[in-house]
Structure 1
Amino acid sequence: MNYNQNKKIAQITPYTLIIGVDIAKFKHVARAQDFRGMEFGTPCYFENTKEGFEHFLHWISETKKARSMENVIVGMEPTGHYWFNLAHILKENEIKFVAVNPLHVKKSKELDDNSPTKNDVKDAKVIAQLVKDGRYAEPTIPQGVYAELRVAKKIRDLLTEDLQTVQGQVHNWIDRYFRNFLRSLRSGRARLHYNSYGFMLYRMK
């Protein structure tokens, strides 16, 4: 669903547990706060594994219970493909998750300590603050055949790009090492064609 910023902010109530997660390749960091920006407890460190996600879900449940919260919203940066596993886990457990713009995170880092340096714990807090202010988007995670179609399209795009690169290299080699090739074509003694794989072939009559 698409919301304007006011409607996004309206979803954050005094009973909403806001969690910001800094995504990494192996280990993530999460911080929790309320709608005013008051931080709860200590950061939660969890690995990008099944056990790590179970630990994170348990931490969410315990924090939610301790603070008498009714709902949870988890914000994260869509960093590469590392956030996909966490997003699927949250969706399976019916926990709302949103994505924040990495540029917004970068520009907001200096608000607390006047330093733009990267720090996992600091970034998690910045992400939670952006969610509190309604500066997020709700990503769509395709399921079933739609997920397979998205992957297939991405693979096709990569293969098409690789094929164009190879064809460009072949043209380069012909121009550098077979200078009479085009002249032979004009004289009718050679024929240029592509095989079933799209590669350019040179055949003499």
Structure 2
Amino acid sequence: MRRDFAVVAVDLASAKQAAVVTDHDSMVLGRRMFTGDAWVIDDILDWAEPIAAKAGYAGVVLGCEPTGHRWKPLLDRSRARGLELVCVNPMLVHRGREEEDFTRDRSDFKDATIIAKRVAQLRCYVPCVLEGRWCRLRPLGARRADQLVAAGSARQRLRDLLECAWPALLSPASNPLDALTWRAGMAVSTDPGRIVVMGDGAFADAVREQLPRWGATRRNLRILRAIFDAALPPGGVETERAAACERAAYALADWHHAVGQITDVEYRMVEVLDALQLSALVTTIIGLSVVGAAAILAETGDPARYDCARTWAKHAGLCLAVSTNFATTYR
């Protein structure tokens, strides 16, 4: 951010973009609303550069909040024009609105001015440009995080419903939802009445068929017997049992789907690390699996973009001794 450059700040939105041109004291030299998505950035820069030149500036620096994916067209077009893009943390913009007492007077132009002020104060950063296979690893990491949340939510929802409608089912093991035989039994039916009608033998055969879907091959006979016994006096809120058990079946299906998606996306993440020839190197960090390393690298990006190995290690949140060694070897 050079002193002889003006600041062009854009408050990004879906259908219109508020742009301001300011000096380093946040004095607004020009402001204008542009209709269209973030790809109107060329029109914004064509409008802003003459204003900066008229005010005596040698060029401009573009600033924005990293809103969703809307900042990426700005990065693409600004780099194509030989300009620099910097991003301001949304929390700094939020705090800036509080400092300026704009909390009750929301305005796109005011937000853009706050962004420009933070850029002039150097409270910004240069965004990372993803390239090659790193472009694939980042979305895969985001997909894995989403599915982990979905799996955890479905699992908790299943437990809550069963605690209400069929509490006896949660006693066969200390952590019944971790038992693959228990999951296979629930895949047969979450309705205790149906399990009783099936009979002990038919239920056991049905569980055997469901085991491969959950990654198991052998039944735990103790848990199997406990599930069948729990169906005889299920307990719980009788008036809501039928509806709750039906909803529990949906929760179980959601959980199974999310677990399958996690397995698939983790396989793809390991594929990317293999292609980057990093799988063997990341496992030199004690206690870190290939999948765990892939999840970390999906967030931090290419370690080579950091100034030093310790900076990457701190960003990754790993033990400095071993991860610094990894980053140094990689670089």
- Displacement, 1:61? 3.7
Tell me the distance in 1 between the aligned counterparts of 2:60 and 2:116. 12
Query: Which residue in the other structure is 1:48 paired with?
Result: 37
1:28 counterpart = 2:17: yes
Distance in 1 between residues matched to 2:112 and 2:83, nearest whole Å: 18
Query: Which SS does the other structure have where 2:74 is aligned?
Result: helix
Structure 2 SS opposite 1:138: coil
Q: Could you tell me which amino acid in structure 2 is paired with residue 63 of structure 1?
A: I
Residue aligning to 1:84: 72
Output one character per residue of 1:48-95: Cα deviation in whole Å (capped at 9) or x when no partner. 154x23312322343344445333211112233333332333233332
Three-state SS of the structure 2 residue aligned to 1:74 is: strand
Distance 1:96 1:172, change over 3 A: same
Q: One-letter code of the match for 1:21?
A: V
Which structure dedicates a bigger proportion of its chain to strand?
1
- Bigger-Rg structure (1/2): 2
- 2:242 is matched with none
Aligned counterpart for 2:2 among listed residues 1, 4, 12: 12
CA distance in 1, matches of 2:151, 2:88: 35
* Cα pair distance change 1:71/1:196, threshold 3 Å: farther
Residues 86-113 of structure 1, C-alpha deviations (whole Å, 9 max, x = no match): 233323333211122333333334666x
Taking the aligned partners of 2:23 and 2:38, their CA distance within structure 1 comes to 27
> 2 CA distance for matches of 1:47 and 1:176?
51
Question: Gapped runs of 5+ residues in structure 1?
Answer: 1-10
Q: 1:105 aligns with which of 86, 93, 97?
A: 93
What does 1:146-161 align with in structure 2 at a 5 Å threshold? 146-161=134-149
Which has the higher mean CA deviation after the structures are superposed, 58-67 or 154-163?
58-67
What is the RMSD of the two structures over their aligned residues, measured on CA atoms?
3.3
Equivalent of residue 107 in structure 2, options 103, 119, 134: 119
Q: Is the 8 A contact 1:46 1:53 kept in 2?
A: no
Residue equivalent to 2:252: none
CA distance in 2, matches of 1:110, 1:176: 45
The percent of aligned pairs where both chains have the same amino acid is: 21
- AA in 2 matched with 1:25: S
Which residue identity does 1:70 align to in structure 2? A
Q: Mind listing any 5+ residue stretches in structure 2 that lack a counterpart?
A: 175-180, 185-210, 229-331
Match for residue 140 of structure 1 among 108, 111, 128: 128
SS of the counterpart of 1:121?
helix
Instruction: Answer 1 or 2: higher relative contact order, Cα 8 Å, separation at least 6.
Output: 1
SS at match of 1:192: helix
> Does 159-168 or 88-97 show the bigger shift?
88-97
